[in-house]
Amino acid sequence: MISSGTGEHNTSACHGENSSSTPPIATRKSLGKVRAAVTKRADNLKGLDPREQDAFWPLIYQIWSEADLRGNGQDLLADLKKANFAFVRF
């Protein structure tokens, strides 16, 4: 539940109901901008020590190419990517 600040709880947000005519957040936001920001964050990790990159392994596995993974000391992830291994399938 989300508090409205009056001591009452607003459950409409929990059930996907809009209290106004505002469209859902996915409609209001450009997913292209999100994708660009995620890719930029992953690219900023290139060149770091592989141990520093380890904390972000799910991100770099999804975003980087096999060559990028190998070139940045992530050989295990590169091998998994080459084998088309997927941690999650949609």
Domain spans in the chain, listed from the N-terminal domain onward: 45-90
pLDDT at residue 24 is higher than 70: no
Of 27, 31, 76, 30, nearest in space to 50 by CA: 76
Average pLDDT, the chain: 78
pLDDT in tens, 52-61: 999 999 999 9
Reported pTM? 0.62
Report the pLDDT value the prediction gives residue 77, as an integer from 0 to 100: 96
Task: Check residue 73 and give its pLDDT.
Answer: 95
Query: Cβ atoms within 10 A of the Cβ of 70, count?
Result: 16
**Per-residue pLDDT, 3:** 41
Cα–Cα distance between 40 and 59 in angstroms, integer?
11
